[in-house]
């Protein structure tokens, strides 16, 4: 399998793309493209991988992804429906001189970052609403809507930065990465050894460890930890299972180990995470 360098199709008389991708077109493995991306999840649950970030995604989530930043939205179950409204644009369509205008200072700074971001709160709802109107818009109004989205994102703090400066000096992602990720998604809830995954990559253990750290910017076991904690978060917010049940169903055989790693990752305990989610649901009412 080969990491996909995706080519974005443009309709005639359009400088950027905005369309709904739904199963099976939603299923795009670990990939990258030169275009910046705004993606609004409209159906489905699963795991978002953006650069070195791993976390759960659900309907309503909205992300801004820099050009050439590898990402993958993997559905929780292969048979479920996944869909997202996705906008792709190249920085070049705005023109370097245009971006130098003082009125676009914040937009220029936003586009100079190599970041992956998730919109929060009021900003998420505003951008999602504007994004939903773009497929029906034409001409100047369409381009104006893109600029308004970028202006809103660049002038607010209502977002979380998920990954920064992930891009390596060599943008060619090794095809072995997808094989490793595919293996890991199938096995992360079970015990896994470095020898097993090194065999998948057809490498020695030391070579594999260096290779993985270079490409994903974290150790393999940190990567597995992120997958397990992401799974636990989905169970905490989408089930009534006890925290102890969730601990064992997320690949841990020790409550102390699970609790420690969860708090390291999320800065709060599993019970606090569930409570904050429930309070947010009530507030959003």
Quick: pLDDT tens for 75-107. 888 788 999 999 999 999 999 999 999 999 999
How many angstroms separate the CA atoms of 95 and 91, rounded? 7
Between residues 216 and 196, the one the model is more confident about: 196
* Widest pairwise Cα distance in the chain: 58
Query: Please, where in the chain does CATH 1.10.10.60 lie?
Result: 176-284
Count of CB atoms situated within 10 Å of the CB of 30: 20
In CATH, what is the architecture of 176-284?
Answer: Orthogonal Bundle (1.10)
Is the pTM for the entire model greater than 0.85? Answer: no
In total, the chain counts a number of residues equal to 285
Closest CA to 66 of 115, 109, 24, 30: 115
Structural fold of domain 4-163: Jelly Rolls (2.60.120)
CA-angle at 139, arms to 134 and 143, nearest 5°: 55
Q: Find out whether 232 and 246 touch, Cβ atoms under 8 Å.
A: yes
Residue 10 has what pLDDT?
Answer: 79
- pLDDT (tens digit, 9 = 90+) per residue, 23-66? 988 888 888 899 999 999 999 988 899 988 888 899 999 999 99
Q: Quick one: what percent of the chain has pLDDT higher than 90?
A: 66
What are the residue ranges of CATH 2.60.120.10 in the chain?
A: 4-163
1 pLDDT above the threshold of 60: no
CA atoms within 13 A on the CB side of 63: 29
């Amino acid at each position: 399998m080969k990491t996909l360098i995706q080519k974005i199709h443009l309709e005639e008389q359009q400088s950027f793309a905005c369309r709904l991708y739904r199963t099976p077109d939603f299923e795009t493995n670990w990939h990258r493209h030169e275009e910046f991306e705004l993606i609004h999840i409209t159906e489905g649950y699963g795991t978002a991988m953006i650069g070195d970030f791993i976390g759960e995604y659900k309907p309503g989530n909205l992300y801004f992804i820099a050009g050439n930043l590898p990402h993958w939205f993997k559905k929780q179950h292969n048979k479920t429906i996944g869909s997202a409204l996705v906008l792709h644009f190249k920085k070049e369509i705005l023109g370097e001189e245009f971006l130098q205008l003082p009125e676009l200072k914040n937009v220029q700074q936003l586009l100079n970052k190599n970041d992956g971001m998730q919109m929060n709160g009021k900003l998420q709802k505003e951008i999602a609403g504007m994004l939903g109107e773009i497929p029906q818009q034409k001409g100047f109004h369409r381009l104006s809507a893109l600029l308004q989205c970028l202006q809103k994102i660049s002038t607010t703090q209502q977002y979380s930065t998920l990954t920064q400066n992930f891009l390596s000096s060599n943008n060619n992602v090794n095809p072995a990465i997808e094989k490793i990720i595919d293996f890991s998604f199938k096995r992360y809830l079970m015990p896994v050894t470095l020898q097993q995954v090194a065999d998948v990559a057809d490498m020695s253990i030391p070579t594999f460890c260096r290779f993985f750290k270079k490409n994903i910017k974290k150790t393999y076991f940190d990567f597995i930890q992120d997958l397990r904690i992401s799974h636990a978060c989905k169970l905490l917010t989408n089930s009534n299972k006890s925290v102890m049940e969730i601990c064992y169903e997320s690949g841990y055989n020790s409550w102390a180990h699970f609790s420690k790693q969860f708090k390291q990752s999320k800065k709060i305990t599993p019970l606090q995470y569930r409570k904050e989610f429930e309070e947010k649901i009530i507030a959003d009412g």
